[in-house]
Structure formats: structure tokens, C-alpha cells
Structure 1
Amino acid sequence: MSLALNFDWLTNLLAILFVVACLYDARYDEYGTLTLSAAAMGLVVMAIELFLRPAFEMSL
């Protein structure tokens, strides 16, 4: 599987970003906007991985 179809590195990067956003929001931001945006990006990546990976694998 090539790097373009491997979502593991992107998922790990978003998990690290989510932890950093949680720590930042706990200290500085009372509304948690960074945490919500990082969680939304993580959900988008998981949806892309879930729905598009079988299509890529069938086309190969």
C-alpha cells in the first residue's frame, strides 16, 4: 500500500494535534474551539478512510 493510501500517519498526527489542542484549550480558551475543530478533522479523516479505502483497493 502506498503512502497516499496509508491513513495511519495522518490519524496519528491528528491524535497528537487533538492532545495539544486539549492542553491549549484547558489553559487559554474557555470555549474549546481548537478541541472541537481537531475532533472534527479526526472524524473527517476516519470517514475518508472508511468510505474511500475500499474504492481505492478495488481499483488497484
Structure 2
Amino acid sequence: MLLALNFDWLTNLLAILFVIACLHDARYDEYGTLTLAAAAMGLIVMAIQEFLQPAFEMAL
């Protein structure tokens, strides 16, 4: 249960994915689609953490 409410590990994983995507796009992709996808996933996780985590904490 503690792991489900702790978003730090997911945020760190997405940060690593974003760096890898940036390095890959810098070398192979001129449009940066992988970087944009990783950034969008990061924003989604931050939104979930910001808006849903207080609801989970209040439910406990």
C-alpha cells in the first residue's frame, strides 16, 4: 500500500526515461517524438501525484 501511494519511484523512472529519450532523439530522430512522449508521461504522472494523492491520503 505504501508503494502505491509513493510516486517518487515513478517520477525518478520517468526522469531517466526522459534523459534516454533526449539522447536517442539527438542522434537518430529529427522530430523529437520520443522526447515529447516522455515529457507527456512525466506531466501526466505529476498531475496524478498533485491531484489524486491527497484524495488517497484523505481516504486512509
State TM-score, norm by structure 2. 0.98
Task: Calculate the aligned-residue CA RMSD, in Å.
Answer: 0.9
Q: CA deviation at 1:4?
A: 0.4
Structure 2: give runs of 5+ residues left out of the alignment: none
Aligned-residue identity in percent: 85
Structure 1: give runs of 5+ residues left out of the alignment: none
Q: CA deviation at 1:21?
A: 0.1
User: SS of the counterpart of 2:31?
Assistant: coil
Matches within 5 A, 1:1-60: 2-60=2-60
Q: Distance in 1 between matches of 2:54 and 2:32?
A: 34
Question: Given residue 39 of structure 2, which amino acid in structure 1 is its aligned partner?
Answer: A
Q: CA deviation at 1:16?
A: 0.1
The one-character-per-residue Cα deviations of 1:2-60 (angstroms, maximum 9, x if unpaired) are 00000000000000000000000000000000000000000000000000010000000
